[in-house]
């Protein structure tokens, strides 16, 4: 839509309010709301002011004024508000210079797309994330000076087989057996279907939904791929719908990578490809039907994977999922079949248009604008420098002997390790000015101060079991 069309759209829908959303540095939507009388074509040029010092990782309090400029192409009716409300997603600008704000994730994603075009490698990069999540019935947690705990619950969880529910009807899903039992074991068929319904009303094209492997309500809904920045926008909308529909059912949804001990975590396998002149550049006659371009792209992903982890797996909890010896894709290898490899080449279709690579390590706690941009830049670096991805690993890595497996590199084992890798390997991210040193320094500094140190300083409940009687 154009700005004038948004004004007409709001009138036709009987909107009473306008909700302006923007994504913060860490990848969470923020918002404020204005009366419909304030909606005019001018706000799409002049923007709306807000306090940037209150947004994580952005401006200091002594220089805090910022503008959010709504993007008319994002206009839709918010499906969850009681009063008719037009929803708009905005870009962040400096109020003095009018320039785009360097730490605005949407701005970074657009620069990544521009850089791709400047290389001549392709016109568009397509991304298709598979963001897994949990839907729980109850979540409680506390961390104070004298105690720390968390407690989650789900009506379908295996630990509730013996619970007095007045009438316990069974149908609980055992650990690692949630893929794909039908109802009544799958308690959340209607919840996910309602999520799909709302997503489609909001313009997302959904391909399928299903229960995932873990007990206690793990789920996956797949929506159709799109270009980098557009796909990041869609993932933000996707998470908004998932969380709000879950709440409508009296449940709570989380994209936290590892909320449950002893069962699968939630990843975000990310499919990606590059097209040029409306033709797929990843299709060829090489391994698994890949082109030389695609193999070099894989080489870039694998080479830079430790640094990518700081943006694609950006929480301390991410590394509770990325543990060697389990099903998580920690092995920096590629394969057409092996799901324990970090990069997989899907073989569901023989069509050249479907040829793509799947980076399996990322998770849904990431900021998609930053993560997608970083993956693209790693792949482009591989293409530019003709990085050899090595031989594919088409065997069970976990069945390999220690001697055989010692030469297979792995993802970092902690967020701290990932940030160190990013400090040492960031030249590929600075190409084309997509990321800046300020952005990367701010990211690393924030993560260390507000997440790593926060966890490092606190006793863990398990430590009392291990060490109280020493």
Query: Where in the sequence numbering do the catalytic residues fall?
Result: 51, 130, 132, 212, 220, 269, 339, 358, 360
Residue 300 and residue 303: Cα distance in Å, rounded?
A: 5
String of DSSP letters for 176-229: T--SSPPTTTSTTHHHHHHHHHHHHHTT--EEEEEE-SSTTTEEEEEE--EEHH
Beta bridge partners of 32: 20
| Cβ pair 22, 29 in contact under 8 A | yes
String of DSSP letters for 240-274: HHHHHHHHHTT-EEE--S--STTS----EEEEEEE
Beta bridge partners of 71: 89
65-77, strands of its sheet edge to edge: 29-35, 17-23, 85-93, 65-77, 48-51
Exposed e or buried b per residue across 227-244, where buried means at least 16 C-beta atoms within 10 angstroms of its C-beta: bbbbbbbbbbbbbbbbbb
Phi, psi of 254 (to 5 degrees): -140, 140
88: which DSSP letter? E
């Amino acid at each position: 839509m154009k700005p004038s069309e948004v004004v007409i759209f709001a009138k036709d829908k009987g909107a009473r309010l306008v909700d302006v959303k923007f994504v913060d540095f860490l990848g969470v939507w923020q918002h404020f709301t204005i009366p419909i009388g304030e909606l005019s074509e001018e706000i799409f040029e002049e923007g709306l002011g807000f306090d940037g010092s209150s947004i994580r990782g952005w401006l200091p309090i002594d220089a805090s004024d910022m503008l959010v400029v709504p993007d008319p192409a994002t206009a839709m009716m918010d499906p969850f508000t009681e009063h008719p409300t037009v929803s708009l997603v905005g870009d962040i600008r400096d109020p003095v210079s009018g320039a785009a704000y360097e730490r605005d994730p949407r701005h970074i994603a657009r620069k990544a797309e521009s850089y791709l075009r400047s290389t001549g490698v392709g016109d568009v990069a397509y991304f298709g994330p598979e963001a897994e999540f949990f839907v729980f019935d109850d979540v409680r947690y506390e961390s104070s000076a004298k105690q720390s705990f968390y407690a989650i619950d789900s009506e379908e969880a295996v630990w509730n087989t013996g619970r007095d529910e007045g009438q316990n009807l069974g149908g609980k899903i055992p650990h690692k057996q949630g893929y794909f039992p039908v109802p009544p074991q799958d308690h959340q068929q209607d919840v996910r279907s309602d999520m799909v319904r709302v997503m489609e009303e909001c313009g997302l094209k959904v391909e399928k939904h299903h229960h995932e492997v873990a007990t206690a309500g793990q789920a996956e809904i797949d929506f159709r791929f799109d270009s980098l920045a557009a796909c990041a926008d869609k993932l933000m909308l996707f998470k908004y719908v998932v969380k709000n529909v879950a709440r409508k059912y009296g449940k709570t949804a989380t994209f936290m990578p590892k909320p449950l001990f002893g069962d699968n975590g939630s990843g975000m396998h990310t499919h990606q490809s590059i097209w040029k002149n409306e033709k797929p550049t990843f299709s060829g006659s090489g391994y698994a039907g890949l082109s030389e371009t695609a193999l070099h792209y894989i080489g870039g992903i694998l080479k830079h994977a430790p640094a990518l982890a700081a943006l694609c797996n950006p929480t301390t909890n991410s590394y509770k999922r990325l543990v060697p010896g389990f099903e998580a894709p920690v092995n920096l290898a590629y394969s057409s079949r092996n799901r324990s490899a970090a990069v997989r080449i899907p073989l569901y279709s023989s069509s050249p248009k479907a040829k793509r690579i799947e980076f399996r390590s990322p998770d849904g706690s990431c900021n998609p604008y930053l993560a997608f941009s970083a993956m693209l830049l790693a792949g482009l670096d591989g293409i530019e420098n003709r990085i050899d991805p090595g031989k594919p690993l088409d065997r069970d890595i976990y069945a390999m002997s220690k001697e055989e497996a010692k030469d297979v590199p792995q993802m970092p084992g902690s967020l701290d390790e990932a940030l160190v890798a990013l400090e040492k390997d960031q030249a590929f991210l600075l190409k084309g000015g997509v990321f800046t040193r300020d952005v990367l320094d701010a990211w690393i500094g924030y993560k260390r101060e507000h997440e790593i140190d926060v966890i490092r300083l606190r006793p863990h409940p398990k430590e009392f079991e291990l060490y109280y009687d020493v």
